């Protein structure tokens, strides 16, 4: 008897209730993120005409001059994704994933375990979390099959992707790190000051929220796991563990021998470690650049030679192209809003319906909605960050609450927005509809925890 299709039975059961129509709509009508960026540009331009009285020349000029406004930030975001992907595919990390895959002794534990590992990896860096979740799900499915354990592969993959729901609370959170970076595009909204990560990422209330999201979502994944005798979709027999491609460059010339030597990569890795130690010893803070250099140091220490690093970089580069194309459009949107005063209009509207207690929850909901149109966390902060910070300032709300509310909203609706799921699904060989019923459960559970965290911190 052949295994049922992954989009049937258990997955359908997971998406029963009011989420099912929403899931069906998302599957059929959500276009590409690039299309959203173009449409959003047009919408913002029209709103600037209507709400601010700006003329066509002012709107177009603001847009054109804004296109280059996020070039440094765009590079930082691309590096986080690129370096996270490279790190996940280094030999030591691949070996670690293979060993971790042997840990679960039951299907129910396997689902929760994949979620937990992916969540921890996402807290380290979102690029690493995405890749690790998919690779670990696949590896566990292969090893479970050889051990006679029947695991539902779509739920394994959904569990891996669900770990991504905490990324913006962690070490690579683009919003909090941008606010902590001097002279960033948020500096003007912050009055020229910075908000250190001790008040955002490493605040006690955010770390408690992280713990709460992981516990609640882990429990929900355990509860929706197929029962022992329920039909499941296993990884097909034809699919084996994806062996890591080896780098067998021909070593003939002296130049080849240099490229095949570990000495050069080791020197760079150690030099970066020394720099980071000096930076923190002298009182330096955590910024986007420092996060990237810490990952770069790890990569140079873990790869065997320049040959391998070049090979891994080529494999990771394809994931960066769409971000490079979209960010100038996000920067142009920010340019329109700044030049025409639309930022002030939006922030005044939020102030009119919010108060210091409800601001955080309302900001979370609005950020969750904006994330459907601007799925990049960095791009979303470029568009929405200044608005929320201005509104928070008018209401007397701590800027750290505004920063984390936008961060929470961005990661929250990623569980429904297919953009970041695409690389995970490509590795797993599934479609969004195969996991959407399960990630909807993560969406609901995490949303409740994050809303409560923002509500209580605002009291």
Q: Residue 414 domain-assigned? A: yes
Ranges of residues in the chain whose predicted pLDDT is under 50: 1-4, 7-16, 242-243
Angle at 434 between CA 430 and CA 440, to 5 degrees: 130
Radius of gyration from C-alpha coordinates of the chain: 23
d(C-alpha 131, C-alpha 126), whole Å = 9
CB atoms within 10 A of CB 147: 11
The CA-atom distances, in angstroms, between 189 and each of 39, 68, 141, 149 are 26, 19, 48, 54
Contacts of 207 (CB under 8 A, 6+ apart): none
pLDDT in tens, 284-309: 888 889 989 999 999 999 999 999 99
Q: Residue 450 domain-assigned? A: yes
What is this structure's pTM? 0.82
Q: Check residue 58 and give left, alpha or beta (phi > 0: left; psi -120 to 50: alpha).
A: alpha
Structural domain that includes position 435: 35-236+253-457
- What is residue 322's predicted lDDT score, i.e. its pLDDT? 73
The burial class, CB within 10 Å (0-12 / 13-18 / 19+), for 31 is exposed
- What is residue 7's predicted lDDT score, i.e. its pLDDT? 44
d(C-alpha 321, C-alpha 324), whole Å = 5
- What is residue 94's predicted lDDT score, i.e. its pLDDT? 87
Q: Are 404 and 367 in contact (CB under 8 A)?
A: no
Q: Residue 241 domain-assigned? A: no
Query: What count of Cα atoms within 13 Å lies in the side-chain half-sphere of residue 446?
Result: 34
Contacts of 85 (CB under 8 A, 6+ apart): 127, 128, 130, 131, 315, 316, 319
d(C-alpha 407, C-alpha 325), whole Å = 22
State both tokens at 441: 């459960």
Secondary structure (DSSP) of 127-152? HHHHHHHHHHHHHHHHHHHHTT----
Contacts of 13 (CB under 8 A, 6+ apart): 437
Q: Are 180 and 195 in contact (CB under 8 A)?
A: yes
Q: Can you list the pairs that 387-390 forms with residues at least 24 positions away whose Cβ atoms lie under 8 Å?
A: 387/337, 387/343, 387/346, 387/347, 387/350, 388/347, 388/350, 388/363, 389/186, 389/189, 389/190, 390/189, 390/343, 390/344, 390/347
Q: Residue 317 domain-assigned? A: yes
- What is residue 19's predicted lDDT score, i.e. its pLDDT? 57
d(C-alpha 9, C-alpha 4), whole Å = 8
- What is residue 374's predicted lDDT score, i.e. its pLDDT? 75
User: What's 283-340 look like in SS3?
Assistant: CCCCCHHHHHHHHHHHHHHHCCCHHHHHHHHHHHHCCCHHHHHHHHHHHHHHHHHHHH
Q: Residue 337 domain-assigned? A: yes
Rounded to 5 degrees, what are φ and ψ at 379? -65, -40
d(C-alpha 59, C-alpha 54), whole Å = 7
Q: Are 331 and 68 in contact (CB under 8 A)?
A: yes
Q: Residue 407 domain-assigned? A: yes
Q: How far is residue 169 CA from its own chain's centroid?
A: 10
- What is residue 268's predicted lDDT score, i.e. its pLDDT? 96
d(C-alpha 262, C-alpha 304), whole Å = 5
Q: Residue 15 domain-assigned? A: no
- What is residue 288's predicted lDDT score, i.e. its pLDDT? 83
Burial 361-381 (b: 16+ CB within 10 A, else e): bbbbbbbbebbbbbbbbbbbb
Q: Residue 441 domain-assigned? A: yes
User: How many domains is the chain built from?
Assistant: 1
Of 442, 433, 367, the residue nearest 7 (C-alpha): 433
Secondary structure (DSSP) of 224-252? HSPPTTS---PPPTT----PPPP------
**What DSSP designation does 192 have?**
T
């Amino acid at each position: 008897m052949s295994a049922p299709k992954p989009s049937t039975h258990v997955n359908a059961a997971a998406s029963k209730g009011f989420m099912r129509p929403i899931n069906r709509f998302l599957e059929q009508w959500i276009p590409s993120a690039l299309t959203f960026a173009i449409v959003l540009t047009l919408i913002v331009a029209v709103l600037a005409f209507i709400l601010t009285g700006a003329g066509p020349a002012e709107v177009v000029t603001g847009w054109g001059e804004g296109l280059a406004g996020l070039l440094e930030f765009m590079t930082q975001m691309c590096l986080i994704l690129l370096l996270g992907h490279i790190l996940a595919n280094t030999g030591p990390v691949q070996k670690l994933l293979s060993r971790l895959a042997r840990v679960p002794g039951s299907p129910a534990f396997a689902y929760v375990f994949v979620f937990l590992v992916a969540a921890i990896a996402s807290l380290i860096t979102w690029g690493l979390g995405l890749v690790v979740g998919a690779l670990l799900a696949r590896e566990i499915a292969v090893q479970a099959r050889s051990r006679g354990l029947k695991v539902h592969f779509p739920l394994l993959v959904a569990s891996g992707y669900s770990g991504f729901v905490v990324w913006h609370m962690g070490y690579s959170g683009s919003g909090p790190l941008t606010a902590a970076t001097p002279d960033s595009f948020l500096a003007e909204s912050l009055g020229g000051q910075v908000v250190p990560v001790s008040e955002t990422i490493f605040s006690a209330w955010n770390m408690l929220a992280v713990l709460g999201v992981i516990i609640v979502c882990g429990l929900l994944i355990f509860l929706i796991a197929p029962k022992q005798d329920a039909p499941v979709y296993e990884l097909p027999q034809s699919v084996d563990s994806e062996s890591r491609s080896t780098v067998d460059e021909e070593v003939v010339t002296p130049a080849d021998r240099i490229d095949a030597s570990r000495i050069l990569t080791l020197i760079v890795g150690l030099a970066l470690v020394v720099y980071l130690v000096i930076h923190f010893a002298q009182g330096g803070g955590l910024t986007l650049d420092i996060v990237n250099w810490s990952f770069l140091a790890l990569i140079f220490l873990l790869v065997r030679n320049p040959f391998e690093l070049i090979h891994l970089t080529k494999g990771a580069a394809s994931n960066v192209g769409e971000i490079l194309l979209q960010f100038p459009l996000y920067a142009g949107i920010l340019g329109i809003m700044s030049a025409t005063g639309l930022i002030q209009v939006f922030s005044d509207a939020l102030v009119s319906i919010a108060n210091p207690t409800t601001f955080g929850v309302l900001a979370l909901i609005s950020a969750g909605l904006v994330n459907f149109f601007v799925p990049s966390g960095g791009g979303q902060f470029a568009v929405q960050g200044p608005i929320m910070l201005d509104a928070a300032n008018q209401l007397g709300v701590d800027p750290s609450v505004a920063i984390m509310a936008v961060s929470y909203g961005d990661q929250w609706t990623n569980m429904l927005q297919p953009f970041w799921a695409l690389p995970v699904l490509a590795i797993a060989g599934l479609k969004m509809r195969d996991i959407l019923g399960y990630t909807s459960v993560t969406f609901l559970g995490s949303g409740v925890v994050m809303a409560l965290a923002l509500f209580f911190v605002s009291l």
